[in-house]
Structure 1
Amino acid sequence: MKLNELPEDCVSTILSLSSPLDVCRAAAASSELRLSAQSDCVWESFLPVDYHEIVSRADNESLLKFCTKKELLFLLCNSLLIDGGNKVVKLNKISGLKSYILSARNLSMHGLMTQFIGPGKTSLIQENVKFIESVELRTTSWLEIHGYIKMKMLSPNTTYGAYLIFKVSERAYGLDIMPMEVSVQVGNDLVCHNTVYLRRDGEKNHQIQWLLYYNRTETLTTLVNQGIEGSILTFPGARDDGWMEIELGQFFHGELYSDDDHKVVKMSLMEIKGHHLKGGLVVEGIEIRPLH
């Protein structure tokens, strides 16, 4: 049977089992497929099962002027602010998997003298998607950051990584003396535990602070690492949006509607041992994205 002899609903079903990219290619290559490729039932198959809830939580209703499910899909692929502008949700254009970014306002941070930085000073991936504020840690002797997300918000059968998005200001100090502990906890289970450095390699003030605190740092670093079996010390990496990121850990979300859906994922960066003054850490948020 030729393709143009198949019923339209049959063609739509076939297309819905492919990917958004495949559907666009098919529509461009075949006039017989073009009509079916515009069908809402095709594009709805690429949307997450909870897309109605996501849309209801959108921060700006004017952004949700879509007439078809195809338009909604591409809207979500370009990032969408939700929950009062405190979260960003984004779909991967190829896999359809969800990722989230929790803003600084959405995190639990313990430290003295934190200052929120206002509009125009943050930029997040897409030029039209910005958090209203980031937060700068001015002065503290104790640093602790936690982020939380419900497992049911994430795509099933997917391994995720959690990343702290941050910058280090020009007047920063004390951030490169001691490693920090990072962890990911799913429900009551600790699934990832590691050590990281929030330092700027090769800078003069880092070398000076290292000399001043050398003996104390070496001792405390050994204690931290001894307390984390299999720990691998990691360092920040640069992002395409101009910020830095450090991995907090990885975790797996299993089947949809399983017991995992009722759990909360807790992502943390904490200073456990040793207290010294530090400041100049600018936090944008925590990103939770699929690992491919």
Structure 2
Amino acid sequence: MSNIDTLPEDCVSSILSFTSPADASRFCLVSSSLRSPALSDLLWLSFLPDDYNHIVSRALAPLLFSSKRDLFHALSHPILIDGGSKCFQLDKSSAKKSYILSATELSLTRGNDPMAWSWILMPESRFSVVARLRTLSSLEIKCKIRTGILTPNTWYGAYLIVKVFQGAYGLDSAASEVFVEVGGVVKKGEAYLCEKDERKQKTEALFYGNRREMLERSSAVTKEDRKYPSRRPDGWTEIELGEFYSGEEDQEVKMSLREVGYQLKAGLVVEGIQLRPKHA
């Protein structure tokens, strides 16, 4: 530690910039001589994205901060941007970007038809409205973004955020097709919109087991590639649509979920699609 003590503060800050935000916070506790460079604007500026000023200007509510470290910690909590249609957050450990696009930013089959969808308020949602499926026989949810808004050279996952209302029907009859496309390269998979209850599974296995087995054999997607809903810490459920690499060039990313069972369905609530870094 004595060798570092002899270096200029800005030099120490530059060295610490090769670590992570989490490490930089710990350095404040390791040594009094590291505290000042570990709190410096020079260091925390290196953890902020290049377009942080643009992101701050798009915040729905003004962000209050007195230093770059304060700003980083403000951005490491979810903030609404673009009039409340998107949610932005920096990962506290890696400083990588994530976004949630609200349902208003997505393309929904017959999304403007009040007989198919209703736009409702839900206190547990981060957005002002969510989309509730009233009734449809064929469902497709899709969106597109540019990789330029994301952290470069990073693997991202795309996740559809939903809830299933009590009394919902037609959502678990068949797996939906999911895909992510970047630069003309398409990755396909299958996903279920909700879990079946055990009693229903046994009944369908008894009456439709052979037919389902034939469908699964004809599908190009293996069981390992099928996605199942998982519970999120915020109380919602997410379905992985796929993953992609952001790279360095700005490219268009298309994401989609398409339910191909053509069975009347209702009761699905769509909050949005999240794009977040995948951690090893």
Q: Same fold (TM over 0.5)?
A: yes
Q: 1:109 to 1:163 in 2, by over 3 A?
A: same
Q: 1:291 to 1:20 in 2, by over 3 A?
A: same
AA matched with 2:168: A
How far residue 3 of structure 1 moved from its aligned partner, in angstroms, is 3.0
Matches within 5 A, 1:50-199: 50-61=51-62, 64-111=63-110, 113-120=116-123, 122-123=124-125, 130-190=126-186, 192-199=187-194
Q: CA separation in 1, counterparts of 2:59 and 2:207?
A: 50
How far residue 203 of structure 1 moved from its aligned partner, in angstroms, is 4.9
Give the equivalent residue in structure 2 for 1:46: 47
AA matched with 2:21: P
* Residue 248, structure 1, aligned to residue 249, structure 2: no
Unaligned 5+ runs, structure 2: none
State the secondary structure of the residue aligned to 1:84.
helix
How far residue 37 of structure 1 moved from its aligned partner, in angstroms, is 2.0
1:176–1:206 contact (8 Å) kept in structure 2: no
Q: 1:201 to 1:157 in 2, by over 3 A?
A: same
Q: Identity percentage over the alignment?
A: 48
Give the equivalent residue in structure 1 for 2:229: 236
Unaligned 5+ runs, structure 1: 124-129
TM-score normalised according to structure 1 size = 0.85
1:116–1:136 contact (8 Å) kept in structure 2: yes
Give the equivalent residue in structure 1 for 2:255: 267
Q: CA separation in 1, counterparts of 2:122 and 2:190?
A: 32
How far residue 18 of structure 1 moved from its aligned partner, in angstroms, is 1.7
2:10–2:42 contact (8 Å) kept in structure 1: no
State the secondary structure of the residue aligned to 1:45.
helix
Give the number of aligned pairs.
274
- 1:163-197 superposed Cα distances (whole Å, 9 cap, x missing partner): 1111111010011111110000114331x101112
Q: 1:278 to 1:116 in 2, by over 3 A?
A: same
TM-score normalised according to structure 2 size = 0.89
State the secondary structure of the residue aligned to 1:169.
strand
Q: 1:276 to 1:168 in 2, by over 3 A?
A: same
Q: 1:211 to 1:6 in 2, by over 3 A?
A: same
Give the equivalent residue in structure 2 for 1:279: 266
Give the equivalent residue in structure 2 for 1:127: none
- 1:82-101 superposed Cα distances (whole Å, 9 cap, x missing partner): 11111111111111111111
Q: CA separation in 1, counterparts of 2:189 and 2:258?
A: 11
How far residue 247 of structure 1 moved from its aligned partner, in angstroms, is 0.8
Deviates more, 1:12-21 or 1:69-78: 12-21
1:177–1:209 contact (8 Å) kept in structure 2: no
